[in-house]
């Protein structure tokens, strides 16, 4: 019997999900399993899913389709429901189940970066990934959060912060670092190059800074921070661990984390060399 899974989004050519899932299948000895990558534009996910034959067991879903994926769920996992977006669809007897593994992925990445309990955080952006970040940060005890945005904050992020018992405030890029506070953890959830200038933003000793972007490293955000002596956690750690949970959900087997991490490192290194 053959089984298929895949990743969808727009753009999609940069996605490293095939590298991670295929490495897992190889390490687990799953013969007959394949993982695909398809360009699916906004508004087209429902039609795409409807065409999938019965040997498809699941989908990894990237932007801009996470809200659409949630809407397709006959069943919805608690994390997906809370953040209002799903990055995983799983075929069940009753239809598709919508899950969010981004929360788990970011949690593991931040723990790996040394984050323990924290009381205050800043999140750059306010979209679906920012909402996943808020839920993640709540698990570290964060109760005060600054949503740092270029223009207007999306209401869903403020609503979620309130439901999580967080005191949230909004600051704009133009207000400058003097208004952004001194959080113990800062997470950027926006695309490379869409971050604010952080020159002069002073964080407490031991603060953790994370950029969820993993391609084209170092990003301008990472470079800006490192010029101030602050190291930045790269988004590949989040990518790895959200895929680890996806593999577990789709196959029912424990994911081979080290094999997947090695494959990702090699693919990112090759991609970096190809751009030079």
Q: What is the CATH number of the domain that holds 154?
A: 3.40.50.720
Residues 6+ apart with CB under 8 A from 22: 35, 263
Q: Does residue 216 sit in the same domain as residue 116?
A: yes
Alpha carbon distance 6, 65 (integer Å)? 14
The per-residue pLDDT for 42 is 97
Alpha carbon distance 7, 58 (integer Å)? 9
The per-residue pLDDT for 128 is 87
Q: Does residue 157 sit in the same domain as residue 171?
A: yes
The per-residue pLDDT for 209 is 97
Residue at token pair 């270029």: 150
Alpha carbon distance 168, 53 (integer Å)? 44
Q: Does residue 220 sit in the same domain as residue 171?
A: yes
Which token pair is 222? Answer: 């990472």
Number of domains in the chain: 2
The per-residue pLDDT for 274 is 40
Q: Does residue 127 sit in the same domain as residue 38?
A: no
Alpha carbon distance 208, 231 (integer Å)? 8
* Domain at 77, CATH number: 3.40.50.10860
Q: Does residue 212 sit in the same domain as residue 126?
A: yes
Q: Does residue 110 sit in the same domain as residue 222?
A: yes
Q: Does residue 64 sit in the same domain as residue 23?
A: yes
Q: Does residue 116 sit in the same domain as residue 165?
A: yes
Residues annotated as catalytic are 66
Q: Does residue 47 sit in the same domain as residue 112?
A: no
Residue by residue, pLDDT tens for the chain (276 residues) are 799 999 999 999 989 999 999 999 999 999 999 999 999 999 999 999 999 999 999 999 998 999 999 999 999 999 999 999 999 999 999 999 999 999 999 999 999 999 999 999 999 999 989 999 999 999 999 999 999 999 999 889 999 999 999 999 999 999 999 999 999 999 999 999 999 999 999 999 999 999 999 888 899 999 999 998 899 999 999 999 999 999 999 999 999 999 999 999 999 998 874 443
C-alpha 94: how far from chain center = 27
Q: Does residue 86 sit in the same domain as residue 118?
A: no
Angle, alpha carbons 45-47-51 (nearest 5°)? 115
Q: Does residue 201 sit in the same domain as residue 129?
A: yes
Q: Pick from 102, 89, 104: which is nearest to 7 by CA?
A: 89
DSSP codes, 96-130? EEEE--HHHHHHHHHHHTT----SEEEEE--SHHH
Q: Does residue 41 sit in the same domain as residue 109?
A: no
Range of the domain at 36: 3-100+237-274
Is residue 171 within 8 Å of 144, Cβ to Cβ?
no
Burial 101-131 (b: 16+ CB within 10 A, else e): bbbbbbbbbbeebebeebebbbbbbbbbbbb
The per-residue pLDDT for 170 is 96
Alpha carbon distance 12, 9 (integer Å)? 5
Length of the chain: 276
Alpha carbon distance 42, 22 (integer Å)? 26
List Cα–Cα distances, 276 to 34, 54, 159, in angstroms: 31, 42, 43
């Amino acid at each position: 019997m053959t089984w298929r899974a895949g990743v969808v989004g727009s753009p999609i050519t940069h996605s490293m999900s095939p590298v991670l899932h295929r490495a897992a299948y190889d390490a687990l000895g799953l013969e007959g399993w394949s993982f695909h990558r398809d360009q699916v534009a906004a508004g087209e996910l429902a039609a795409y899913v409807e065409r999938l034959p019965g040997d498809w067991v699941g989908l990894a879903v990237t932007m801009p389709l996470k809200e659409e994926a949630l809407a397709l769920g006959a069943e919805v996992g608690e994390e997906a429901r809370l953040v209002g977006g799903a990055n995983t669809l799983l075929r069940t007897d009753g239809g598709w189940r919508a899950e969010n593994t981004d929360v788990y992925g970011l949690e593991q990445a931040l723990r790996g970066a040394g984050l323990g309990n924290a009381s205050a955080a800043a999140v750059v952006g306010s979209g679906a990934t920012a909402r996943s970040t808020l839920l993640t940060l709540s698990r570290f005890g964060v109760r005060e959060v600054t949503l740092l945005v270029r223009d207007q904050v999306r209401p869903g992020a403020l609503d979620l912060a309130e439901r999580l018992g967080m005191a949230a405030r909004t600051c704009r890029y133009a207000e400058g670092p003097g208004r952004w506070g001194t959080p113990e953890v800062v997470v950027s959830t926006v695309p490379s190059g869409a971050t604010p200038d952080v020159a002069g933003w002073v964080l407490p000793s031991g603060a953790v800074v994370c950029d969820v972007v993993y391609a084209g490293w170092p990003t301008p955000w990472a470079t800006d921070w490192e010029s101030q002596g602050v190291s930045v956690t790269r988004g590949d750690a989040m990518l790895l661990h959200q895929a680890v949970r996806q593999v577990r959900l789709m196959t029912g087997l424990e994911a081979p984390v080290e094999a997947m991490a090695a494959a990702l490192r090699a693919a990112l290194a090759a991609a970096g060399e190809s751009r030079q």
